[in-house]
Amino acid sequence: MSELRETFVKPDAALEGANELGAAGARLATTWQNLAATIGGLNSDRPWGDDEPGNEFNKNYLGGDDQPAQRVLDLAADLVPLVEVLGPTVKGAVEGTVDTDDMVKTLFGGDDK
CA distance 82 to 63: 26
Residue count (the chain): 113
Task: Write down the pTM of the prediction.
Answer: 0.75
Tens-digit pLDDT profile for residues 63-89: 777 888 888 899 999 999 999 999 999
In this predicted structure, what is the pLDDT of residue 76? 95
CA distance 35 to 39: 6
Tens-digit pLDDT profile for residues 1-12: 578 787 788 999
In this predicted structure, what is the pLDDT of residue 110? 67
CA distance 103 to 41: 54
**Distance, C-alpha 5 to centroid of its chain:** 31
Tens-digit pLDDT profile for residues 48-59: 888 999 888 888
In this predicted structure, what is the pLDDT of residue 32? 96
